[in-house]
Amino acid sequence: MALTERSERSLVERAIRGDRAAQQEIFHLVRPRVSATLRRILGPSAPIDDLVQETLFSFFRSLANFRCEASLATFADRIAVRAAYRHFTRRRGQWEDELGSSIPSNGPRAEETLILREATEHLYAALERMDAPLRIAFVLHVIDERTVADVAAVMDASLEATKARIQRARRALEAAALRDPTLAPFVHPKSGQFKLER
């Protein structure tokens, strides 16, 4: 989403007035970002197509409230994060494992791919046990590599609260890695930093 503030404002104003071309342009700008954000938060095996559609519907319904105080990307991220919160509320405590069907059965990298997929499954199972604010802050900062300030803006939280959430999530995952031999090789506390090898 590389639009200037002025072009974003113009595009949104046209979309609100019912300009189909502007609406389609916004849809094509926003959909990949919403999908990627939800995929990171919920995990690679989560069936997110319905949630993406629900989020985009909410996004366009809320577009009239967009005041250009933040970027259109941040506005879309906020709606995606709210959708993730609702998803966690509806499905608290459940974990779906759909990774097996996409694992290659042969080839030189099959075993490595299997190990990485299993570690990813264990990571998201550990994340599933966290409160939604911790999980979302951690995923956006550590896995999606966004700045703490960006995560705070998306979550509509203070920098201090966001840092605390990320730190609590890191400690919880480090503790989970101590108990989980599958996850342990991929979680390294180094100089106070949490590193997930991908």
CA 160 vs. chain centroid, Å, equals: 20
Q: What confidence score (pLDDT) does residue 96 get?
A: 39
190 beta partners:
193
Whole-number percent of the chain with pLDDT over 70: 78
Owner of token pair 């197509």: 49
Q: In Å, how far are 7, 165, 185 from 59, measured between CA atoms?
A: 18, 26, 39
Q: In terms of Cα–Cα distance, which of 184, 162, 161, 163 is closest to 174?
A: 184
Fold classified for 1-92: Rna Polymerase Sigma Factor; Chain: A (1.10.1740)
Q: What is the pLDDT of residues 127-184, one digit of tens each?
A: 888 999 999 999 999 888 899 999 999 998 999 999 999 999 999 988 888 888 877 7
Domain 106-198 has CATH 1.10.1060.10: no
Owner of token pair 């709210």: 82
pLDDT under 50: residue ranges of the chain: 93-108, 191-194, 197-198
Q: Which helix (H) or strand (E) holds 58?
A: helix 49-62
- Sketch the domain layout of the chain as residue ranges: 1-92, 106-198
**CA 69 to CA 117: how far, in whole Å?**
39
